Amino acid sequence: MFSSTDDHGGADTAVKMDAQYRLQRYVYDWSRKYYLLGRDSLLREIDLDTDETLLDMGCGTARNLCKLAYHNPGSELFGIDASQAMLDTALGNLRRHRLYTGNVRLQQALAQQVTPASFGRDEPFDHVLFSYVLSMIPDWQAAIEQAISVLRPGGCLHVVDFSDQQSMPAWFRTMLLGWLKRFHVHPEPALPGFLQSLTRQGGQLQLRHLPGRYALIACYRKPDPTAPTLQWMPGE
């Protein structure tokens, strides 16, 4: 959703993404399953309580939303994407799986700009998900910061994306980066360190790498100043 007050960057990004995915969207899920590794592992780890909310940043074809909706029928799910063409495919997939009910909503928006108000909401989200999206966003730090800002205190930021591949053979890393560049995907080697730096603001981070540091899976829990703290008592 791009309002009249948005800068031209949002509209330009939407046009570029539509051009990129106008045809790719028809084979996206089939082709990406061979190298976007770790997505299903992360989805299985996301624990959604009844009535909790999750925002999928860059939801694409709604692959992840379909899986989450199937296993969490009582949760409210939201998805954004810069490409309206992708959202059209996402809507078709949700309807085909009979999952497009009141608990799944889609909207065109940028990760750096989305807020609960983008969906007509006042309350922040319980979970925010980035699934192989940050490596496609030039200002990925701003996207992460925006995601944290729309999380409720104690909410969780979930990330699966390419890591730095530092434990893999140099020839493989060169080949991988060259292939990804064709699709405007640019893995950021600074991502692991940036995620770890979030703990300086408080909160907790769980982060692990797939073999060879090919990709990372992370969960950052936003600090909640209202949460009770355990007090150490002498003799315990």
Is the distance from CB of 86 to CB of 27 less than 8 angstroms?
Answer: no
Structure tokens at 151: 């999380």
Q: 67-77: per-residue pLDDT in tens?
A: 999 888 889 99
Q: pLDDT over 90 for what percent of the chain?
A: 64
pLDDT digits (tens, 9 = 90+) for 217-226: 999 999 998 8
d(CA 87, CA 109): 11
Q: Read off the pLDDT of residues 95-152 as tens digits, 9 standing for 90 and up.
A: 887 765 568 999 999 999 999 999 999 999 999 999 999 999 999 999 999 999 999 9
Contacts of 137 (CB under 8 A, 6+ apart): 58, 111, 112, 143
Radius of gyration, CA atoms only, the chain: 18
Per-residue pLDDT band for 169 (boundaries 50, 70, 90) equals very high
